[in-house]
Amino acid sequence: MKNAVAIYHVAFEDAGTLGPVLAERGIGLTYLQAGRDDLSPALDADLVLILGGPISVYEFERYPFLTDELKLIEAVVKKGTPVVGICLGAQALAAVLAARVYPGAEKELGWDQLTLTEEGKASPLGVLEGLHILNWHGDTFDLPSGAARLASTTITPNQAFAYGPNVLALQFHVELPKEDMERWLIGHTLELANSNVDLGEMRATTARYAPATNEASRTLFNDWLDRLPRS
C-alpha cells in the first residue's frame, strides 16, 4: 500500500489521527475536496477515506455533486479498494450499499460510550470498549444487507459497521485530535448555537476524554490496516 486519497467536505474535518498512522507506514495521503475537485484519482488509490461534513447524503437538489460522489464511492467499493468512512462518509457508504439514510430522532452531539456487539469486540473497534467517543451528527442509517453491526449508542443503533474486510464505516469521530476541537467549535458555530450546546462543557469533556480516545484511534486504524487482505 503506497497511496491514500481522502475525500473531504469541509477543511477542518480532516483525517486527524489517521494521518500520522499512514505517514508512519510510508503511505502518502492526498486530499480531494468534494464539490470542487475531480475525485477520479480515488479510483486508483490503495486506500480511500471519506470524511465528515455538515450536509446530508440525500440532499441532491441542494448539492448536486453528491450524485457523482456517491457513484465514485460505489465504484471504489465494488473495485475492492479498502475504504474508511467517517460520519458523513459512513452515511455515504451505507447509501451506496443500498441502505436508507435519514434524519435521526434527535441530534447526537458530544462524548458518549459505545456499546460494542460481539463482532465489534472482536474487531479493531474492541480497543474502544470503556472509552468515550465523540458524536456529531443528525442523520443516521439502516444497516446495509450483508454488513456486520459493530457498535451502537442509546440514540443511534447503527454506529459502526464492517462490510467484508475492506469497508469500515464509523458514524462517530475517533479521528479528531484534542487540539483541533476549537476548529470544530468555530466551524460548526451555527449548529452548536441552534442545538444549545454548552461550549465550555464540550471543551471540558474533550480535554477529559480525547487523549485516551486519540491514542486508541491510532491502535484501531493500525489494527484495521494490518487485517486487510494481502494483494
Q: What is the pLDDT of residues 139-167, one digit of tens each?
A: 999 999 999 999 999 999 999 999 999 99
What phi-psi label fits residue 87: left (phi over 0), alpha (psi between -120 and 50 degrees) or beta?
Answer: left
Enclosing domain of residue 153: 3-227
Q: Which amino acid is at 204?
A: A
Band the pLDDT of 231: cuts 50, 70, 90.
low
Q: Which helix (H) or strand (E) segment is 23 a member of?
A: helix 18-24
Looking at residue 220, its pLDDT comes to 98
Residue 1: band (very low, low, confident or very high) from pLDDT cuts 50, 70, 90: confident
User: Does residue 128 surpass a pLDDT of 70?
Assistant: yes
> What's the half-sphere exposure (Cβ side, CA atoms, 13 Å) at 207?
7
pLDDT tens-digit map of 175-210? 999 999 999 999 999 999 999 999 999 999 999 999
pLDDT in tens, 31-82: 999 999 999 999 999 999 999 999 999 999 999 999 999 999 999 999 999 9
Q: Which three cell numbers stand for residue 204?
A: 471540558
Residues 6+ apart with CB under 8 A from 193: none
- Adjacent-strand bridge partners of 103: 139
Residues 6+ apart with CB under 8 A from 15: 6, 22, 29, 49, 51, 175
Number of domains in the chain: 1
CB atoms within 10 A of CB 212: 13
Domain containing 14 — which CATH number? 3.40.50.880
**pLDDT, position 230:** 83
